[in-house]
Chains A and B, each alone.
Chain A
Amino acid sequence: MRPEGRLKSIAYFFAPLLALLVLWQATITVFDVNPRVFPGISAVWHAAVTSIADGTLIQHIGASLTRVAVGTVIGIAISVPLGMAMGVLPAVATFLTPLMRFFSVLAGIAWIPIATLWFGYGFGAITFVIFNAVFFVVAYNAMLGVSTIPMRLRYAAASLGAGPWRTLTEVLLPGALPNIVTGIRTGLGFAWRGLIAAEMIATNVGLGYMLFMARDFYRTEVIVMGMIVIGLLWLLLDRLLLAPLERATVERWGMVERT
């Protein structure tokens, strides 16, 4: 991208956020809103600075991101091979698809009660929720990806001497990758929401916990600061990690339309 293009896209990204900040402060000032109802920008800023200075914010972010990373990695590691196996074996796919649909809908915070029974409060239960959110979406997409690879590509590989293993690594995996990447992006979106909810219930560290505790002390500025951090972290994750991943593979190959 050309420098002025990049600058422009940054401007487009931040302009609406800036507008929101202006509207926010104006409303607080004009209507003289009680900080117990909603905080002003300076209070939120102060809360951010304080929690960064004393290290608690980093601690909460670290805990949340670790859970997301572990749950996602385990989820991908199991769902990709399973989903691909489903795509290769139509009978398995037909059998499992209704279950996959059912559990995709259920994935997320509905599992928290049972997860806390299995894993206790804390890391295990929350990571399980993340795993769940990622697992079903990615498995379903991997299956879809494999089953939509044109038969002629598998024929081509076979007539060029590729055996089953080479067909898997050279055709099925790269062929399903666009769907897998999309699945990961969607699944992580679900996981991120599930994470915050799970942390409100089942732990004593993490961004969701930080929000929920602040509520008990009417610390609206901490709540809002946490909400902003949660939103920004997701935007950063999506923009800096997931979107470039999608661009680097899928769009380059012309397998989806550039948007």
Chain B
Amino acid sequence: MRSLTIRDLSKTYFDAYAGSHVDAVRGVSLEVTQGEFVSLVGPSGCGKTTILNMIAGFIPCSGGEIRLDGRAIHGPGPDRGVVFQSFALFPWKTVLDNVGFGPKMRGVPKAERDRTAREYLELVGLAHAADRYPNELSGGMQQRVGVARALANNPEVLLMDEPFASVDAQTRMTLQEELTRIWQERRPTIIFITHDVSEAVFLANRVIVLSKGQILDEVDIALPRPRVWDKLHEDAAFKSLSGKVLQLVRSA
């Protein structure tokens, strides 16, 4: 079953500073099947975040269309969960209430959504932090909450916009390993945006390289799972795939 279909997507901004139109995204077509883990990788300004924002429905597209299970998308919706680079947790809600926010919007009774929230906090290893507020957590913990919050709403696609870019290197590796584990357990459809080549290769089944608003090429990542850094770090296949993607990105 085709899950997400993007056809001839484009986005044109008017750059008031330059006084001209800028084509941020040009004719991008992409199919993401249900349960797939796809990384979009490319340098700053390649249009990857713009594509994600259009899929999320935060900004309208200038041309083309995005369909989820055949339905054209209009604006943001709970069928597309988003994990933000800057976490975007509600500071006035406890961790539990942040994670239970989606179910609350669907009218799920308090006891049931608390149970759901605890289950997903368990999944990201934060069951003990349920009653704390986001500002009391480290960056890595906040992003675990962000992932749990998006997953607890059971979206059809999980959109992740450089979610691990603002945590330290060690925490980032742990979060990457946790994300692959969660993906294996739950099989959500994930579109993961990053500029980090090794992150893209480590996580995904398929890496799509973007350049100047267009898809340059894509690389299938047939590495076995579970993926852990201790093993993959020196793995020849991982190195060669990373090298291939890196070359594409640098040629961009």
Contact = CB atoms under 8 A, between A and B. Distances in A.
Interface of A: 150, 152-153, 155-163, 166, 170-171, 174-175, 177, 249, 252-255
Interface in B87-101: 88-93, 101
22 contacts: A152-B84, A153-B88, A155-B56, A155-B58, A155-B76, A156-B84, A156-B89, A158-B57, A158-B58, A159-B82, A160-B101, A160-B105, A161-B77, A161-B78, A161-B153, A163-B105, A175-B92, A177-B92, A253-B92, A253-B135, A254-B133, A255-B92
Contact of B102 (A161, A163, A174): A161
Contacts, number: 74
Interface of B: 56-58, 75-78, 80-82, 84, 86, 88-93, 101-102, 105-106, 133-136, 149-150, 153
B72 to A, nearest CB: 17
Contacts of B88: 150, 152-153, 155-156
B76 A174 contact: no
A1 to B, nearest CB: 19
A144 B153 CA distance: 31
A69 B133 CA distance: 33
B76 A159 contact: yes
Nearest to B81: A159
Q: Pick the 5 closest A-B CB pairs, nearest first.
A: A254-B135, A161-B78, A158-B76, A161-B105, A160-B102
Given A155-B88, A253-B92, A160 B58 contact: no
Contact of A171 (B78, B82, B90, B149): B90
B57 A159 contact: yes
Contacts of A152: 84, 86, 88
A239 B81 CA distance: 43
A155 B83 CA distance: 11
Nearest to A167: B105
